[in-house]
A and B are shown apart, each in its own frame.
Chain A
Amino acid sequence: MSSEKGTPLQSETSTFHAPSEPLAAHSSERTTQNFSVIGKRNLKYDWHAKLTGAAKYTDDLRLPRMIYGRLLRSPHPHARILRIDVSRARAMSGVFAVLTGKDLPIRYGILPSSQDETAMALEKVRYVGEAVAAVAAVDEWTAEEACNAIEVVYEPLQPVMSIDEALDPDSEKIHDWTKHANIQKNVLLEFGDLDEGFAEADRVFEDEYFFEGNTHVPMENHAALANWEPTGKVTVWSSTQTPHYLHRELARVLDLPPSRIRVIAPPVGGGFGGKSEAFSHELVAPVLSRLSGRPVLISLSREEVFYCHRGRHPVRMWIRTGVKSDGTITALDFKSTLDGGAYGSYGIATTYYTGALNTLPYRVPRYRFEGRRVFTNKPPCGPKRGHGTVQPRFAIEAHLDRIAGELGHDPAEMRKGMLVSPFSWTVNHLRVTSCGLPEAIDAVLERSGWREKHGHLPQGKGIGLACSVYLSGAGLPIYWNPMPHSGAQIKIDRGGGVTVYCGTSDIGQDSDSMLAYVVAEELGVDIGDIHLVTGDTSLAPVDLGSYSSRVTFMAGNAARQAASKLRAQLFQVAAARLDVPEARLGAAGGMIYDLEDTERQIPFAQAAQLAEAEFGTLGETGSYTPPKLAGPYKGSGVGPSPAYSFTCAVAEVDVDLETGILSIQKIWVAHDLGRALNPVVCEGQIEGGVYMGWAEAVIEEQVFRKGLHKQPSLLEYKIPTSLDMPDVDTTIIESIDPEGPFGAKEVGQGPLAPVIPAIANAVYDATGIRIDSTPIMADKVLRAIEMRRKQHAAAV
């Protein structure tokens, strides 16, 4: 592995100084407020459907006369397509349609700056598993035979399989437009005078780290069902986290007005970032449907899902930090190189994310970040839970652990002394509002018995700590536009039923429940009276999608705004009827009542009828647009968020020094999520995040051999079983964010990140060995132990 240090980069440079005006700490939510729904351990909105088998996921849908699509995929990591002959396939009985790349040549890509994919490969294939042709047939057996009957002649090219190969100027170019070797993008950001910072430092530390790639593995494989109606309208049901973006990409690639396309996201069986952009099968299914005059279902196999990927980038990192003797940072210099796979995907955003949040949660007065992303002949990488921030967090927190050790400080106390203050700005112009990290650190220290354990456990046993930070929604949309990020509509019927329309896609994070809780609280009705229409681009207003932990903050605020407008109308008529000033009214349990004399009340449904008589049909909209937070420099769009969540984790491990096998005794985690709208759901998100972080730390890796994914199956790509899962102790910290809905921030992604460095740091505490790359597998640990033993033997 070559050093990251000193590699010159051509890139856009920006120098920028942080705004100096202080932020006022103001809270619109009273912590003590009495809620009837919020904060209660309510059942999830869709509990019945999800526990009885009634929930219909995409692959469960059946349309009359439905047929089946299948994609033929590239067997080469890198090759030119010389010829495709589909005539035999087309002539087979039971085959309705066959397509190749030429039939859908319009380029697309989730980021406006990287429009580099086509629905199926055109002149070149760039990874094993890239779609090359598609068929629609009467059943899946025939579709498979038809794919086998398609002849493709390839001219294999030298594959580029690693960062080093991609940086080599002599490597084969994957995309002909890259200027230097296979480098897609270089970025350089500099804030403050680093030389000054290092000069001021008492000590300077430098380290290198590598984070291995891994992937999402939602239990539901991707699937799309398309129905092209003779009228020219097309409906696509898809297992997607981002129905709105899929809608846009479909319009582009199918060259159709968006007004003719409807995207529906049925319940999604897990996403974790892997279903956040358009995939070949989603773009191809509608065309197969048009050509065959039948609804077409394409349901991917598990192996194909590994080829869709868009998961965690492998990242090589270099870090240099100047510190005072108490550990406080005087300057931070950070470089990352991302192995992006074959296409852009979200990768430019990911590249920026490997730098953007490194100025949190510790004070960093001067900061420099160089990032670059390279292309390789592997499935494209993209966003996985914690998008781009997980890799640098591993590096920074392991690095700080070493610094604390060498300076003779307790790693927890040292961190506590350098935290950013709530309601402050960072040097790279991130606005911090609420921050409950001090409380989170104290909680895990207390609960884990940190003070008695750290540095005091016997050889082979150890404990480690790390902190992290994440966004509650990206401050900017994927494509630039001034419109809201989330919209909601609410209609109230005469019987008191409340219907909420919102374009969110529920991927298991309970965004549907969140909408129901927020609206039920605001209107004072029972959750059972709420009806939801979500994940449908024709029936519901736009929500940008389930990514960047944005839904609670943004859709929650939009829904709350719509509900509060209706609440005002209802209160107006109720006040008149009860002869009480509006300000004295409350709403809960299906009643609107006088706060001072709760016996004075009127049922919600009656108020709704009065209001309808007064104002006409009851319906309101709400929207949410984040405040403009981006700093005045290029690349500042990545990082700002209306609020940040903060996490602290402690892991206790037991390392078997004979086998290298790690057993995680327990993980303690405390997460500042603003407010828990439902503690059960929040704990579930935290536990799920801890699980995924721990798995990335010790067992999961996406590796390639001879140009192929080595293990595209659930047997060989190791996701943990019930017997592997360690014990987790979860603490929820509520900092009540002034701008979040009822004070809520995010909980879906943040808790993953600190678990990985906490484990690495615990391994050090147990063995005195620093493992500087993930996953920290037994094999790696044992090699390090043997190496040290040999060195000791040699030294004697």
Chain B
Amino acid sequence: MKELFRLNVNGEDTDVAFEPYKTLLEVLREDLDLTGTKHGCELGECGACTVLLDGRPVMSCLYLAVEAQNKRIETVEGLADRGVPSALQTAFARTGGAQCGYCTPGVLMSATALLRENTHPSRDEIKEALAGNLCRCTGYIKIFDAVELAAVEITGPES
């Protein structure tokens, strides 16, 4: 049976009814119509479903939505500010970090969490932070370039 829960998604409190056995991925996509979060395996093996919970990246396919109450949930839909893309999104556009774009929402969420903690990540730190996001199109290189470019855009070149 569905029950009513309150979730905080991208800064908004939303009341939404769902079954206790639904994952956060399913609730976002099916009950909140936030289909920006993708899925490629539903078993924690690809990272396409990555969202942020209290600022940390998690696989939303392996997280019960009931357990996401009282936490800040951030999805790709929340990255742009009133339609204005974040520096990271812009950097991805400029370096060609998204090809088919299917891994992209998850990659953006992992990279967003990284850049909040580490304003000047090295390439190795970027690779570590994205080690849970499989991409089949890019060979990752333009993704790394995008994160590096975004770091510079956000805080200027490292002095």
A contacts, CB < 8 Å to B? 41, 43-44, 46-57, 59-60, 62, 216-221, 267-270, 272, 301-302, 507-510, 680-681, 683-684, 687-688, 690-692, 713-715, 719, 721-723, 725, 728
Contact = CB atoms under 8 A, between A and B. Distances in A.
Size band of the interface chain B makes with A: 35 or more
Find the residue from B93, B128, B137 having the highest chain A CB count within 10 A: B137
B45 interface: yes
B131 A220 contact: no
B40 interface: yes
B138 interface: yes
B89 A714 contact: no
A683 B127 contact: no
Interface of B: 29, 33-43, 45-46, 48, 75-77, 79-80, 85, 89, 92-96, 98-105, 108, 126-128, 130-144
B31 to A, nearest CB: 11
A218 B135 CA distance: 9
Contacts of A51: 85, 89, 92-93, 98, 101, 104, 108
B103 A684 contact: no
Given A52-B80, A713-B45, A691 B100 contact: no
B110 to A, nearest CB: 10
A272 B138 CA distance: 12
B63 to A, nearest CB: 18
Contacts of B76: 52-53
Contacts of B141: 687, 725, 728
A360 B92 CA distance: 37
Contacts of A216: 136
Given A44-B96, A51-B93, A269-B100, A722 B137 contact: no
Contact of B139 (A43, A47, A56, A691): A691
A697 to B, nearest CB: 14
A265 to B, nearest CB: 12
Given A51-B92, A722-B127, A713 B100 contact: no
Nearest to B46: A714
A719 B138 CA distance: 13
Contact of A219 (B33, B40, B75): B40
Contacts of A507: 100
A295 to B, nearest CB: 15
B80 to A, nearest CB: 5
B139 A728 contact: yes
A269 B93 contact: no
Contacts of A272: 136
B138 A218 contact: no
Contacts of A691: 138-140
Contacts of B103: 219
A51 B102 CA distance: 10
B155 to A, nearest CB: 21
Nearest to A217: B136
Contact of B36 (A44, A54, A59, A220): A54
Given A218-B136, A219-B103, 19 more contacts: A52-B79, A52-B85, A220-B102, A269-B100, A269-B101, A272-B136, A508-B102, A510-B99, A683-B96, A684-B99, A687-B139, A688-B136, A692-B136, A692-B139, A713-B43, A714-B40, A714-B43, A714-B46, A722-B140
B41 A302 contact: yes
Contacts of B135: 219, 722
A688 B135 CA distance: 10
Given A219-B135, A719-B134, A723-B127, A267 B80 contact: no
Given A48-B85, A50-B98, A62-B33, A688 B77 contact: no
Contacts of B134: 219, 714, 719, 721
B136 A714 contact: no
B43 A47 contact: no
A99 to B, nearest CB: 25
Given A220-B102, A269-B100, A715 B45 contact: yes
Contacts of A52: 36, 76-77, 79-80, 85, 89
A59 B46 CA distance: 17
Given A272-B136, A688-B139, A219 B36 contact: no
Nearest to B146: A51
B152 to A, nearest CB: 17
Contacts of A221: 39-40
Given A51-B93, A272-B136, A688 B37 contact: no
B100 A53 contact: no
A216 B85 CA distance: 31
A47 B131 contact: no
23 contacts: A47-B93, A51-B104, A53-B35, A53-B36, A53-B75, A56-B35, A59-B35, A217-B136, A267-B100, A268-B100, A270-B100, A270-B137, A302-B42, A507-B100, A508-B100, A508-B101, A687-B141, A688-B139, A714-B43, A715-B41, A719-B136, A722-B126, A725-B141
B115 to A, nearest CB: 15
A714 B131 CA distance: 14
B140 A683 contact: no
B40 A690 contact: no
Contacts of B98: 44, 47, 50-51
Find the residue from B76, B133, B139 having the highest chain A CB count within 10 A: B139
B85 to A, nearest CB: 6
